Homo-oligomer: A and B are copies of this chain.
Amino acid sequence: MAKKKTAASANKRTPRRSVLSDEIYEMIKTMIFDHEIAPGSRVNIDALSAQLEVSQTPVREALARLESDGLIAKEPLKGYKATELLSIKQLNDLFQFRLLIEPWAAEQAAKLIDNTGKTALKAEMQSAKTALKFAGENQFQALSEHDSRFHTLVSSISGNQTVADFYDRTHCHLHLFRLYMANKLHRIDGESRADFVQDLFEQYYQSGSGQLAIKEHEAIAKAILDQNAKAAKAAMHTHIESSLKRFSPAALAANK
């Protein structure tokens, strides 16, 4: 609902700096992220464009891109629908893929990092800590975003653009977040979405998973900053395996 206003005002008043189509793309992504568009549910272009208060044209473009991203599936002449949540197998496949890529990326990052990279990495770790302290009710969101930025950063420091691009394309954080959300939505009926996020974070936080993830990130960051390639590689490997373990119960629950 808040989104409608944003779209309308951005459209009518302010001189646009970007293109509506891109905004719509981001908005729909967010809606999928928040389960406002539930996994597996149909996406009616008419309804969506009405809700967002834009015409069909930008919605169509956005959906076409989301389809390439694997977040939306198109059935010809039947319409678009949000993709289902990751199955256990898909989750394992995804993490196996990451295990092939990211430890190598961390290793390279440790070898090739320069001062700019070091500054960026330190800044990211710092901001993660402060975000966790002050984000209040949005701490889980903050954590998730930090995680995404961290892995993107390491990939980019590795110097291999292909690797960096391909990490982005996995949409890891989005899939994992959806998984957790679904898990939570399953348990508590009738609550508002904001409350779900809050609850979700609390569970995640109180289980110590958040701190663990940050700790592991710190180990990776330290190794990279020390330019200890072997340690960086090992730390990233450990981190991804731990991360998979933390997410697996959610996947189990989501898949009933």
A24-82: which have CB < 8 Å to B? 57, 60-62, 64-65, 67-70, 76-77
Residues on B with C-beta less than 8 A from A170 are: 162
Contact B90 A162 (CB under 8 A): yes
Q: How far is the CA of A21 from the CA of B56 in the complex (A)?
A: 15
A101 interface contact, C-beta 8 A? yes
A252 interface contact, C-beta 8 A? no
**A222: min CB distance to chain B, Å:** 24
Interface SS majority for chain A: helix
Return the chain B residue nearest A77 by Cβ.
B19
State which of A92-100, A202-210, A243-251 sits at the interface with chain B.
Answer: A92-100
A11 interface contact, C-beta 8 A? no
**A75: min CB distance to chain B, Å:** 10
Identical chains bound together, number? 2
Residues on B with C-beta less than 8 A from A162 are: 90, 93-94, 96-97, 170
Q: How far is the CA of A111 from the CA of B236 in the complex (A)?
A: 26
Q: CB within 8 A of A90: which of B60, B67, B76, B161?
A: B161
A22 interface contact, C-beta 8 A? yes
Residues on B with C-beta less than 8 A from A60 are: 57, 60-61, 64
Contact A166 B163 (CB under 8 A): no
Residues on B with C-beta less than 8 A from A76 are: 18-19, 22
Most buried by B among A19, A101, A161, A162: A162
Return the chain B residue nearest A70 by Cβ.
B165
Return the chain B residue nearest A164 by Cβ.
B93
A180 interface contact, C-beta 8 A? no
A122 interface contact, C-beta 8 A? no
A127 interface contact, C-beta 8 A? no
A169 interface contact, C-beta 8 A? yes
A196 interface contact, C-beta 8 A? no
Q: How far is the CA of A97 from the CA of B167 in the complex (A)?
A: 11
**A98: min CB distance to chain B, Å:** 9
A149-187: which have CB < 8 Å to B? 160-163, 165-166, 169-170
**A148: min CB distance to chain B, Å:** 17
A104 interface contact, C-beta 8 A? yes
A189-231: which have CB < 8 Å to B? none
Q: Which 6 A-B pairs have the closest CB atoms?
A: A68-B68, A64-B64, A93-B162, A61-B64, A97-B162, A19-B76
